[in-house]
Homo-oligomer: A and B are copies of this chain.
Amino acid sequence: MTNTLSRFDIDSMEQRYRANLINSLSGFKPAVLLGTTDGQTHNLAIISSVVHIGANPPLLGMIMRPHTVQRDSLGNIKKSGFYTLNHVHTDWVDKAHQTSARYEPNESEFDAVGLTPLLSDDFPAPYVKESGVRMGLKVAQHFTLINNTEMIIGEIQELHVDEKHIAEDGYLDIEASMSACISGLDSYHSTTRLAQFAYAKPNTDTRKK
């Protein structure tokens, strides 16, 4: 049985209650660590707002909140133009969540939570060594949305991935590589594949791959 809540019901909710509920409605979200640096301190922040924008050129978007714990990461991105995105694995979701604590600007979340910065000669932002799916991105577009959150779109410059998880058709098995997902603000999940389907056609039964 479903209950119907009106906009008035939602607007009348206690603030924290509403935040938990509305953050659950967008469905399962990717668990990703955002790596940035100011040249001295390497910053790490859990984000769940990564969204696919396009494959050619390879573009990913993310939504950032400028007046929250994400402030330092956002400042680093604005200054340098570069950042990394690193999949969180199911066996260290606790460390990933801990990056959401409000550390001092000169304190590295890498050190605080026990993850290892991986620095490459070719890319000016720190990767997470423990992650099996790592991307280095350069800001391609950046703007402010209606509610004063900011959207950053980045172009993938470099990709670290275990090629044994890439299928013949290019699909990356992120379940086999132990990527985690998030619901709401603080719930972490592993996944189980139900099916992979072939390209759908009208008047043809849905076929598994």
A-side interface residues toward B, CB under 8 Å?
1-7, 9-11, 13-32, 48-61, 63, 87, 90, 93-95, 97-104, 107, 112, 132-135, 140-141, 145-147, 149, 151, 153, 156-163, 166-167, 169-175, 179-181, 183-202, 204, 206, 209
Q: How many identical chains are in the complex?
A: 2
**CA A56 – CA B13 in complex, angstroms?**
10
Q: How far is the CB of A63 from chain B (nearest CB, A)?
A: 6
The listed residue (B59, B189, B195, B209) touching A192 by CB distance below 8 A is B189
Given A3-B160, A21-B170, A191-B181, A206:B30 Cβ within 8 A: no
**CA A60 – CA B26 in complex, angstroms?**
7
B189/A10 in contact, CB under 8 A: no
Nearest neighbor of A134 in chain B, beta-carbon distance: B2
B184/A171 in contact, CB under 8 A: yes
A135 surroundings in chain B (CB, below 8 A): 25
23 contacts between A and B (CB under 8 A): A2-B160, A5-B161, A18-B55, A23-B52, A24-B174, A28-B191, A29-B51, A48-B52, A51-B61, A51-B63, A54-B149, A59-B147, A97-B197, A97-B206, A101-B200, A141-B145, A171-B184, A172-B184, A184-B196, A186-B197, A188-B193, A188-B196, A191-B191
A51 surroundings in chain B (CB, below 8 A): 26, 29, 49, 51, 61, 63
Nearest neighbor of A166 in chain B, beta-carbon distance: B21
A186/B170 in contact, CB under 8 A: no
**CA A206 – CA B186 in complex, angstroms?**
11
A202 surroundings in chain B (CB, below 8 A): 101-104, 107, 112
A171/B21 in contact, CB under 8 A: yes
**CA A64 – CA B5 in complex, angstroms?**
27
**CA A60 – CA B24 in complex, angstroms?**
11
